[in-house]
Amino acid sequence: MLQFSSQQCHNIPNSNIFLHILFFTTYLFITLHNYNGRTKLIDELKNQIENNALKIQCNDDLQNIEFVNDFNIEELQIVCCKNVIPKLNNPRIKKISLNYCRINSLSELELPNLEELQIKDYSAGYNVGNIILQGVGEFQKLKDLSLYGYSYLNLELSPIIQFTKLELGACDLSKIQQLTQFTILTNLNLAKNPNIDITPLAQMVHLTALDLSECSLNNVNVLKTLISLNDLDLSTNDIMDISPLQFLVQLKELSLSLNPLINICPLQHLKQLTVLHLTECYLVDITYLKPLSNLKELYLGHNKIIYLEPLLELKQIYLNAECNQILDVSILKDHLQFSSFRINGQKQPNAAEIEVANNLRDINAQITSLRRIRTMHSSLKSKMALQRKKADDCLRRISSNYTLFIEYVALLFQQSSNRDIQ
């Protein structure tokens, strides 16, 4: 604060006194304005805390976040705040995400109980990822680390052996031998590293989840030793031979979408599968899927499949078979097992009649020859996911004549499809 004695005021020219007063008034206004704005921001953020978590996003004016030290939160997410300075000292925080914030150092983060750290930034400069990786060593309780988009990452750094989950997506990795020292690592994500050598993975037999999507792989032979895997993502690669996967009998979720598969015979051994992605894999024959009785979700879109008969014994499954070459869906006439079924975009469907069971929640189809849909149970209205108010009025007017109802349903399907396209 500016202070003047009477003598000083007497000796200062009037113009200078005016300037000093103007300066002080302006300084006081700016200070109070910033204080009030900051107080308002803090109050607003406090109101946004939900389930002990706070999310701050898209605020380039935000720099100092030390006020978060007073918040009783366990999770903090900061997204697209390009000028934020990550300076915190809050022992309550266990999870923090700093995505697209141009973070270049973690030296001022004092979070002794931090367990999960996520940082994504495709625009990071040279060696920034390594500086961050070195700073990670200060978090003694850290178990889950995600660094995404950091090029030139050097994994020759001493590993933090307590990691159980590690994500290093889009980091231009090639050599990953250092990862074998993470002896209790169970979840590993190496997606979008097209030059990666996955040979060292053969030693990481403790892995239960592995993501190698978009890695330009054409050989997965080294994966046959990973018999503890429950979740494997190999989508968007150049894999033709999946025979090594037949040994991974504990798999529950598998994604092979966007691979030029020769055949899917090895999949018949993976009887624990509950979710299987085979979208755009050039498939024609799906006979080998028949033994997979535990499947709950099956994605077969954009293939060359003609016959669905091998799937008829699968119970309560969500099936997406859109954009294939299925000639006849009438095999579903007496089939009661599908919980949801998508057959959009078939080239030459023959669907003169489909019987709908009361456990079929949703049919999504673009079939011009669909003329008759008959319900086998009276609970169609509550079971079908049509979600159209006018259907109730239509149902009340219809007794034994289904023609009007079918025409109306076909119209609803067409309108829904047009909206999806738009």
Write the CATH number of the domain with boundaries 198-295.
3.80.10.10
User: What residue segments make up the domains of the chain, in order of their start?
Assistant: 55-186, 198-295
Determine the pLDDT at residue 111. Answer: 94
- Rounded Cα distance, 294 and 275, in Å: 9
Determine the pLDDT at residue 410. Answer: 58
Determine the pLDDT at residue 386. Answer: 44
Residues of the chain with pLDDT under 70: 1-41, 156-161, 332-341, 344-422
Determine the pLDDT at residue 387. Answer: 43
Determine the pLDDT at residue 316. Answer: 82
Neighbouring CB atoms inside 10 A of 82's CB total: 16
Which secondary structure element, helix H or strand E, spans residue 381, and what is its range?
A: helix 380-383
Determine the pLDDT at residue 264. Answer: 97
CB environment 307-334: b (16+ within 10 A), e (fewer):
bbebbeebeebbbbbbbbebebbeebee
* Burial (Cβ within 10 Å: 0-12, 13-18, ≥19) of residue 103: buried
pLDDT tens profile 284-342: 999 999 999 999 999 999 999 999 889 888 888 898 998 998 887 777 665 556 666 67
Are 101 and 84 a contacting pair, CB within 8 Å?
yes
Determine the pLDDT at residue 92. Answer: 96
Determine the pLDDT at residue 362. Answer: 52
Q: Do the domains 55-186 and 198-295 sit in the same CATH topology, yes or no?
A: yes
Determine the pLDDT at residue 294. Answer: 96
Q: What is the separation, in whole angstroms, between the first and last Cα of the chain?
A: 62
209-211 and 187-189: which strand pairing? parallel
pTM, rounded to two decimals: 0.76
The CATH T-level fold of domain 55-186 is 3.80.10
Determine the pLDDT at residue 25. Answer: 41
Residue among 206, 214, 293 at smallest CA distance from 258: 214
Are 229 and 255 a contacting pair, CB within 8 Å?
no
Neighbouring CB atoms inside 10 A of 155's CB total: 17
